[in-house]
């Protein structure tokens, strides 16, 4: 046998037809388009094949007249397996093979013990001809049948990022393990096509990272999108969608006018071609465009932050500018626009879940990108982009002169990102703009496959791969100049007028889906709780390791490995990924946390010299996982329940008496679905007079109680938006305050109670569920003037509320211990609040001047009730009998029995039964008879009653039906 094997040109090799047929049949089923490409590909002599010891094929690449082997000069498979082992990172969840060759590197993986730990394998091969040769030599049909094996063959370098990004967006489990990704090179192919495989590897990692970012890094960020969708439900149902215009502007040129520094110089030319092109712009461009006499046909908004409404409200939209906000914006945005509006969705599951078809768009990170996606969906061609710099302008300007934006962007020169420039070279940018540019590259590549011409006529900033880069004037000369003006707006209005909707039926259908989803969320929480119990039992086995009584080497590595994978499967089992309700509404909230957690969990074994130690460390984190998952799932469930309740019935806020001339309390009803207000005032005989208040409350604000602040009646309103977690105050009877005003920043972790610790004026008590701090906010002239730190409480103390339980005119703060069920009261020493020292406090991002004291100096705590069991629900703290002292009104959750408890004496008076079909919604002095009444409402109906104490018990007086009450018909089911 010759020491040098004979190399036969690949086009003269007789391939194993059985192997080729098996591979091609499997390929056809999984990748039919690739199958057709392979069929059409002709094998040439660019590659050669030799046999090692007349048995094992080796593949050779021709370089000039010589062939170079892919797998060395010895045993080709052993060569590849050794190369694989040198590159492989054990415990990797994602494995990427760059250069498939004859699949020998993959064989090394499938022969390894670690293959069970890998979830996804990705194969990238540049040359379809080489791939076809491989199909005739190596039987890899089993890989085509494996849904966790993914092939990218013949992928062009310039489209690699966009295709990989889209694929990862679809196959989200790959993103789940992004941090545990290992890349295996076919060294010879890499050297042969170094530029290609280097670029693809970079784009693959970049696409994984961008997908990671896209799915969010904050569960509350994801929750906000769902909350805003539900807050905007009325607008979603009632407004027409952008799908009315899908493919209705085929082959009409479109111009996307974004806010980059280069925009202003293009405006004179843009004004000249109005009517010949469809103009789309983000709302931040409106000032620059309208000042130049340009009225865009469509204006978009995408951001979920407060302040977007300020970009819209100054402009008269008339009937020729049409506003398209994605309904994740704050609800105030819809109120801010005075013109025609349409709904467009991002490609998120929760919008599909709604079943209200208004048009799904694959919008990425910016309102400018949304414009581009709209133009694509409308059938426009070409699409001309201006003002899309993705980079700093002259003097590091971030936006075009005349544009407006919510927050000023500071230049971070220490973290500049270099991007390819429009005119060559590099330009300074940021990682955010880099991400936006990558989004454009993705969309342009997709458009190119559909024959859409994208022209980047920004004439500045960064280039966009795949787009044609020519001056705006040249783009107009080539594609627009010869067109005649069209009555574009008439067409838009004509299509809009075709829209109709049955609002009540849509409400009923969504209500039924919410009911179903709430049940599913509760089931999931129950399963997570069971998972938590099991996890704690597993962790208990390793107590000696946790307390450093043994080392990991003293433990059974096989048992650790088993627990590691058992807990992984337990987590997977509690994710209902095939359930529409779960994926859209629960998983969407959990997903950012899951991605971060699972990527760390899967990466831990490789992060330690001893993999068993890494696996055990991961196991010990599982309790936190289940606790966080339960917390987030419960938040999602509560959001669904709040939405369902808000559709059915308005909420009630008891307003204290406004003045001596108006000594009785009143009721403010708020119907959240319509965001309508109704004020009820009472006569002595419980007769109701309904009024419409002069003030309005923004849809983002939630009621948190009411009180008397410096002689004025005020409603506390909370903004839960993570970008503006704030507490606002609306003074309802102040001559100069007709809208809510911000008091200070306040995070979601703070519980709020209105408390009277000073004569004739209420203040705000807040308790943190994060660090258990208890603070008092003192208001003067409708503004926060002082903060008093009252102390800290144990986590097991539950804030029941406040009340004047000893009759001295000052309220006490009441706490129940969830362990001992004791009831304790905090009382503030006379003069304590006036003796505080000045200090600085920061709450939820809002810095305020405050007074800080140690609780021991002036806050006294005493046990006032030996036991108040958990089944005893405190439904009110009020002076319902006119004794001058507030009492606890308590309902037994099992029997429904209602008792009055005088705090401090343990005297109890049974007052009857409050059934499960009724609930107390508040208390107040509505009738002016020296005592407070309970407001009681039906749980499954709209009727409300006043319970007034007379002689030996409560007497119920009907008030009528809640204004705005709605209940769905049982015949309408969820689809």
Q: Name the least confident of 210-214, 251-255, 509-513, 811-815.
A: 210-214
The Cα 322–Cα 640 span in angstroms is 31
In order of 93, 593, 615, 697, the CA distances from 176 in angstroms are 9, 10, 18, 40
Determine the pLDDT at residue 420: 93
Residue 853: its pLDDT value, please? 41
Q: Which long-range contacts (CB under 8 A, 24 or more apart) does 705-708 make?
A: 705/653, 705/752, 705/753, 705/754, 706/653, 706/654, 706/655, 706/656, 706/668, 706/754, 707/656, 707/754, 707/756, 707/762, 708/656, 708/657, 708/760, 708/761, 708/762
Is the pLDDT score of 185 beyond 90?
yes
Model confidence pLDDT, tens digit, residues 534-569: 999 999 999 999 999 999 999 999 999 999 999 999
Write the DSSP assignment of 270-313 as a string of letters. HHHTBTTBEEEEEGGGHHHHHHTT---SEEEE---STTHHHHHT
DSSP states of 609-638: SSHHHHHHHHHHTHHHHHHHHHHHHHHHHH
Quote the DSSP letter at residue 772.
-
Is-contact 615 564, C-beta < 8 A? Answer: yes
Residue-level pLDDT at 628: 94
**Six-digit token pair at 347?**
């490609």
Q: Of the given ranges (274-288, 340-354, 824-838), which has the lowest mean pLDDT? A: 824-838
972 pLDDT above the threshold of 70: no
pLDDT above 70 as % of the chain: 94
Could you give the CA distance from residue 580 to residue 574 in angstroms, rounded to a whole number? 15
What pTM was computed for the model? 0.84
Q: Is 527 a residue whose pLDDT tops 50?
A: yes
Task: Tell which residue, 883, 880, 885, has the closest CA to residue 898.
Answer: 880
Nearest-angstrom CA–CA distance, 742 and 354: 33
User: Mean of the pLDDT values across residues 318-343?
Assistant: 96
CA distances from 956 to 27, 474, 688 (A): 75, 79, 15
C-alpha distances (whole Å) from 7 to each of 73, 79, 131, 507 are 12, 18, 18, 72
pLDDT tens per residue, range 470-493: 999 999 999 999 999 999 999 999
pLDDT category, 3, cuts 50, 70, 90? low
Are residues 842 and 824 in contact, defined by beta-carbon separation less than 8 angstroms? no
Question: What's the rounded Cα separation, in Å, for the pair 697 and 716?
Answer: 11
| pLDDT tens-digit readout, 514-525 | 999 999 999 999
Cα–Cα separations (whole angstroms), residue 418 to 80, 415, 428, 466, 525: 38, 10, 5, 19, 46
- Comparing 204-208, 227-231, 584-588, 828-832, which segment has the lowest mean pLDDT? 828-832
Q: What are the two backbone dihedrals, phi and then psi, of residue 666, each rounded to the nearest 5 degrees?
A: -130, 170
* Beta pairing partners, 254: 278, 383
* 257-262 average pLDDT score: 91
What whole-number distance in Å separates Cα of residue 457 and Cα of residue 451?
18
The residue-averaged pLDDT of 56-81 equals 90
Average pLDDT over residues 316-332: 96
Report the helix count and the strand count for the chain, using DSSP H and E.
29, 46
Mean pLDDT of the chain: 89
What's the confidence (pLDDT) of residue 610?
92
Q: Per DSSP, which regions of 135-180 are E strands?
A: 149-153
User: 336 or 211: whose pLDDT is higher?
Assistant: 336
Lowest mean pLDDT among 117-126, 247-256, 316-325, 505-514: 117-126
Where is pLDDT greater, at 240 or 3? 240
> 320: buried, middle or exposed (CB in 10 Å: 19+, 13-18, 0-12)?
middle
What percent of the chain is modeled with pLDDT above 90?
63
- pLDDT given for residue 393 in this prediction: 79
CA dist 754 and 66 (Å) reads: 86
Q: Out of 369-383, 601-615, 623-637, which region has the weakest mean confidence (pLDDT)?
A: 601-615
CB proximity list for 661: less than 8 A, separation 6 or greater: none
Once rounded to an integer, what is the mean pLDDT over residues 913-928?
A: 93
Contacts of 15 (CB under 8 A, 6+ apart): 133, 136, 137
Mean pLDDT of the region 770-792: 86
SS3 letters for 542-573? CHHHHCCCCCHHHCCHHHHHHHHHHHHHHHHH
Q: In sequence order, which residues have a C-beta less than 8 Å from that of residue 214 and are 6 or more positions away?
A: 169, 364, 365
Tell me if 131 sits within 8 A of 160, measured CB to CB: no
pLDDT per residue as tens digits for the range 6-64:
899 999 988 889 999 999 999 999 999 999 999 999 999 999 999 988 888 999 999 88
Q: H/E/C letters for each residue in 566-616?
A: HHHHHHHHCCCCCCHHHHHHHHHHHHHHHHHHHHHHHHHHHHCCCHHHHHH
Q: Is the pLDDT of residue 973 over 60?
A: no
Helix (H) or strand (E) holding 810: none
Per-residue pLDDT band at 786 (split at 50, 70, 90): confident
Give 217's pLDDT tier (boundaries 50, 70, 90): low
CA distance 961 to 958: 9
Cα angle, residue 610 at apex, residues 605 and 615 outer, rounded to 5°: 35
Q: Give the residue with greater pLDDT, 379 vs 106.
A: 379
Q: Is 249 helix (H, G, I), strand (E, B) or coil?
A: coil
Separation between Cα atoms, residue 259 and residue 403, nearest integer Å: 6
Contact 819, 832 (CB under 8 A): no
Q: What is the pLDDT of residues 660-682, one digit of tens each?
A: 666 788 999 999 999 999 999 98
Q: Between the CA of residue 820 and those of 772, 816, 824, 863, 873, what are the distances in Å?
A: 18, 8, 11, 12, 16
CA distance 204 to 162: 9
pLDDT of residue 845: 39
Asked if residue 554 lies in contact with residue 600, where contact means CB atoms within 8 angstroms, the answer is no
Q: Using the predicted structure, report yes or no on whether residue 576 has a pLDDT greater than 70.
A: yes
Q: How confident is the model at residue 404 (pLDDT cuts 50, 70, 90)?
A: low
Looking up tokens 């934006």, which residue turns up? 405
Read off the pLDDT of each residue in 745-763 and give the average, rounded to a whole number: 89
**Burial (CB count within 10 angstroms: exposed 0-12, middle 13-18, buried 19+), residue 369:** buried
pLDDT digits (tens, 9 = 90+) for 491-503: 999 999 999 999 9
Peptide bond into 382 cis (omega under 30): yes
CB within 8 Å of 138: residues ≥ 6 apart: 19, 102, 103, 104
The pLDDT value recorded for residue 839 is 45
Distance CA 520, CA 569 (A): 20
Q: What does the alpha-carbon distance between residue 885 and residue 320 come to, in Å, rounded to a whole number?
A: 63
Q: For 430-452, how does the pLDDT look when each residue is reduced to its tens digit (9 = 90+)?
A: 888 888 998 899 899 889 989 99
Q: Rounded to an integer, what distance in angstroms lies between the CA atom of residue 975 and that of residue 970?
A: 14
Classify strands 823-828 and 859-865 as parallel, antiparallel or unpaired. antiparallel
pLDDT at 16: 86
Question: pLDDT-derived band of residue 840, with 50, 70 and 90 as boundaries?
Answer: very low
Tell me the three state secondary structure of residue 761.
strand
Residue 394 has pLDDT above 90, yes or no: no
pLDDT at 847: 41
The closest alpha carbon to 723, from 308, 172, 130, belongs to 308
**CA–CA gap between residue 505 and residue 494 (Å, rounded):** 25
Confidence of residue 73 (pLDDT cuts 50, 70, 90): confident
- For residue 967, what pLDDT is reported? 87
Write the pLDDT tens digit of every residue in 139-172: 999 999 998 899 999 998 888 888 888 888 777 7
Measured CA to CA, the distance from residue 845 to residue 288 in angstroms comes to 32
Give the position of tokens 């049949």: 25
Return the pLDDT at 402.
61
Residue 797: per-residue pLDDT: 92
Question: Residue 423 and residue 471: Cα distance in Å, rounded?
Answer: 11
pLDDT value of position 538: 97
């Amino acid at each position: 046998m010759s020491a040098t094997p004979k190399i036969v040109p690949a086009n003269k090799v007789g391939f194993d037809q059985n192997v080729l047929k098996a591979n091609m049949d499997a390929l056809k089923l999984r990748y039919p388009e690739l199958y057709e490409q392979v069929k059409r590909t002709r094998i040439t002599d660019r590659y050669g094949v030799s046999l090692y010891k007349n048995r094992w094929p080796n593949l050779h690449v021709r370089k000039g007249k010589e062939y170079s082997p892919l797998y060395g000069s010895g045993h080709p498979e052993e060569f590849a397996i050794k190369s694989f082992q040198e590159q492989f990172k054990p415990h990797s969840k994602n494995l990427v093979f760059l250069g498939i060759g004859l699949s020998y590197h993959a064989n090394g993986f499938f022969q390894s013990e670690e293959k069970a730990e890998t979830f996804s394998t990705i194969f990238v091969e540049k040359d379809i001809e080489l791939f076809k040769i491989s199909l005739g030599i190596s039987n890899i049909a089993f890989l085509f049948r494996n849904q966790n094996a993914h092939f990218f063959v013949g992928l062009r370098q310039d489209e690699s990022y966009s295709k990989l990004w889209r694929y990862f967006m679809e196959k989200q489990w790959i993103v789940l393990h992004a941090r545990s990704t290992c890349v295996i090179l076919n060294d010879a192919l890499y050297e042969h096509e170094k530029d290609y495989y280097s670029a693809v590897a970079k784009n693959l990692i970049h696409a994984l990272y961008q997908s990671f970012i896209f799915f969010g890094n904050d569960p509350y960020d994801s929750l906000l999108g769902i909350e805003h969708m539900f807050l905007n439900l009325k607008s979603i149902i009632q407004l027409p969608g952008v799908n009315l215009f899908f493919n209705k502007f085929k082959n009409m040129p479109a111009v996307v006018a974004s806010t980059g520094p280069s925009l202003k110089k293009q405006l004179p030319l843009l004004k000249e071609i109005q009517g010949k092109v469809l103009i789309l712009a983000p709302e931040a461009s409106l000032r620059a465009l309208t000042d130049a006499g340009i009225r865009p046909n469509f204006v978009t908004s995408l951001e979920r932050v407060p302040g977007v409404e300020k970009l819209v409200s100054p402009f008269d939209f008339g009937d020729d500018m049409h506003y398209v906000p994605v309904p994740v914006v704050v609800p105030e945005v819809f109120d801010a626009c005075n013109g025609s509006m349409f709904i467009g969705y991002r490609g998120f599951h929760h919008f599909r879940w709604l079943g209200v078809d208004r048009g799904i768009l694959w919008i990425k990170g910016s309102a400018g990108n949304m414009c581009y996606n709209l133009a694509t969906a409308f059938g426009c061609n070409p699409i001309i982009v201006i003002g899309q710099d993705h980079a700093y302008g002259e003097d590091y300007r971030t936006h075009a002169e005349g544009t407006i934006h919510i927050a000023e962007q500071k230049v971070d020169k220490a973290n500049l990102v270099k991007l390819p420039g429009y005119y060559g070279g590099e330009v300074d940018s940021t990682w955010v703009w880099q991400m936006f540019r990558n989004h454009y590259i993705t969309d342009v590549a997709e458009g190119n496959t559909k024959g859409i011409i994208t022209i980047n006529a920004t004439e500045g900033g960064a280039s966009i791969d795949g787009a044609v880069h020519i001056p705006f004037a040249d783009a107009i000369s080539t594609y627009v100049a010869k067109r005649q003006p069209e009555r574009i707006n008439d067409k838009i209005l004509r299509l809009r007028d075709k829209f109709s909707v049955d609002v009540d039926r849509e409400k009923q259908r969504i209500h039924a889906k919410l009911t179903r989803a709430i049940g599913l969320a509760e089931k999931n929480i129950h399963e997570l709780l069971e998972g938590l119990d099991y996890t704690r039992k597993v962790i208990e086995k390793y107590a000696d390791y946790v307390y450093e009584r043994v080392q990991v080497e003293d433990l059974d590595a096989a048992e650790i490995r088993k627990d590691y994978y058992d807990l992984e499967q337990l987590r997977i089992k509690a994710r209902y990924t095939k359930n529409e309700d779960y994926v859209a509404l629960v998983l969407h909230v959990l997903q950012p946390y899951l991605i971060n957690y699972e990527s760390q969990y899967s990466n831990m074994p490789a992060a330690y010299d001893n993999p068993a130690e890494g696996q055990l460390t991961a196991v010990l984190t599982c309790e936190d996982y289940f606790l966080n998952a339960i917390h987030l799932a419960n938040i999602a469930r509560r959001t669904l329940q709040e939405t369902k309740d808000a559709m059915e019935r308005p909420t009630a806020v008891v307003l204290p008496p406004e003045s001596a001339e108006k000594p009785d309390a009143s009721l403010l009803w708020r119907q959240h679905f319509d965001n309508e207000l109704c004020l009820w005032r009472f006569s002595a005989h419980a007769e109701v007079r309904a009024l419409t208040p002069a003030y309005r409350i923004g849809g983002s604000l939630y009621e948190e109680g009411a009180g008397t602040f410096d002689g004025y009646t005020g409603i506390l309103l909370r903004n839960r938006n993570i970008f503006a977690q704030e507490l606002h105050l609306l003074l309802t009877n102040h001559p100069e305050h007709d809208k809510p005003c911000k008091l200070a920043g306040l995070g979601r972790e703070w519980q709020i109670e209105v408390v009277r610790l000073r004569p004739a004026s209420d203040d705000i008590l807040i308790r943190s569920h994060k660090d258990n701090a208890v603070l008092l906010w003192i208001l003067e002239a409708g503004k926060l003037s002082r903060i008093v730190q009252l102390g800290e409480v144990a986590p097991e103390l539950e804030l029941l509320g406040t009340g004047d339980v000893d009759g001295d005119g000052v309220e006490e703060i009441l706490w129940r211990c969830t362990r001992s069920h004791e009831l304790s009261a905090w009382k503030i020493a006379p003069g304590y609040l006036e003796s505080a020292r000045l200090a600085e406090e920061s709450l939820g991002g809002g810095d305020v001047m405050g007074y800080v004291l140690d609780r021991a100096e002036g806050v006294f705590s005493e046990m006032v009730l030996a036991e108040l069991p958990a089944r005893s629900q405190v439904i009110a703290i009020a002076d319902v009998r006119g004794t001058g002292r507030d009492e606890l009104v308590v309902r037994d959750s099992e029997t429904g029995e209602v008792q009055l408890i005088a705090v401090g004496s343990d005297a109890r008076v049974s007052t009857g039964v409050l059934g499960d079909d009724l609930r107390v919604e508040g208390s107040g002095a509505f009738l002016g008879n020296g005592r407070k009444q309970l407001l009681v409402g039906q749980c499954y109906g709209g009727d409300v009653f006043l319970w007034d104490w007379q002689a030996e018990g409560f007497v119920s007086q009907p008030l009528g039906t809640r204004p705005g009450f709605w209940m769905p018909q049982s015949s309408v089911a969820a689809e």
